[in-house]
Amino acid sequence: MNLEGEQMRVGILGATGYSGAVLFSLLTQHPQITKIDLYGHANREPDRRRSLVDEVPAYSNIHAQLLPFIPQTIMETDDCLFCATPAGITKDLMEPFIAQNFPVIDLSGDYRLKDPLQYKKWYHKEPPAEQLLTKADYGLSEFLNHPKNYIANPGCYATATLLGLAPLVLEKLLEPDSIIVDAKSGVSGAGKKLQPSNQYTFINENAFLYKINEHQHIPEIMQQLHKWDPTIPTIHFTTTLIPVTRGIMATIYAKAAPQISVAKIQEAYLHSYSHSPFVRLRNETFPTIQDVKGSNYCDIGFNYNPQTNVVTVVAVIDNLLKGAAGQAVQNFNKLYGFEETTGLPALPSFP
């Protein structure tokens, strides 16, 4: 659909978490959006009138109440619904929206996986109905064309990993069984809920490996990789929490396919991303998390070691922007035919 010039009203379910609050901030600056309605989770008491500032004191100048979640009312009021909820919420709430083909951009993991058994295995929750999963598009923006009205926004680790790997996988430049991903994330990736690992006294001046080969973003990574190259059997995937607030660095190692060269690698990345406004290529230098903080960019660099025949790729993103809210706005722009960069920061925050 193309609504260039149209003024829109949108809703956010779950605006009080980190991703939801960042999403709200972005949408307030989007030139096509004139009104944002905020909705609480269905398990909240509908008569308890809470406001955004109750949950996000930084937005003290915003007087926006959290409205009760009533699907039909939302569909009659808003043009699109964003869901910035933890996994396990939207799977029980989205059926009326899917039934009426109402536009939804879902930042949770509930509709990313096409196989309901995979969702149950990795998320340890009952999955949505399989017929509902078929209605959702996996929204990796750089590879999302003509999206359906239900967009399942990718996970943050998945975004960095897939953007780093895509050109090499699509051009068959890697040995399929050799991919190792060492991904590191800032503390905001765990959300606002207090856990022992995200307390200051634990993570300050520390690093913590968790969910080794068990992270819930692995199956969506594999699902997309299999679309690009069905011969990839699996990947080795480690995740590390590091003492920064926001940011992801995915360091990817893989054996090179025969007769690879630096020139072939460069050509593959240029071919994939020459028209992608939010992917910045460093070629043979490596980016840092600070290079993308506060932006919707994914910066990518690589190195090829002919002695070991190993390609190393580093992809960095801001987990709350390109890894969540920023990519959601990018997908919103693609869904409605707006310029892909509309409403998104033109530059990272610096210093």
* DSSP string for residues in 243-288: SSSS-EEEEEEEEBPTT--HHHHHHHHHHHHTT-TTEEEEETS---
Antiparallel, parallel or unpaired: β 248-255 and 310-317: antiparallel
Measured CA to CA, the distance from residue 89 to residue 80 in angstroms comes to 18
Measured CA to CA, the distance from residue 123 to residue 341 in angstroms comes to 32
The gap from C-alpha 127 to its chain's centroid, in whole angstroms, comes to 20
The one catalytic residue in 80, 83, 156, 298 is 156
- The residue type at 3: L
Measured CA to CA, the distance from residue 89 to residue 95 in angstroms comes to 12
Measured CA to CA, the distance from residue 30 to residue 85 in angstroms comes to 21
Torsion angle in degrees (nearest 10) through CA of 27, 29, 32, 34: 80
Q: 3-state class of 105 per DSSP? A: strand
Edge-to-edge order in the sheet of strand 66-67 = 66-67, 33-39, 8-13, 80-83, 104-106, 150-152, 136-138
156 is catalytic: yes
Measured CA to CA, the distance from residue 298 to residue 288 in angstroms comes to 10
Cross-strand pairs, 252 = 181, 313
DSSP code of 311? E
Measured CA to CA, the distance from residue 291 to residue 298 in angstroms comes to 9
- Residues with catalytic function: 156
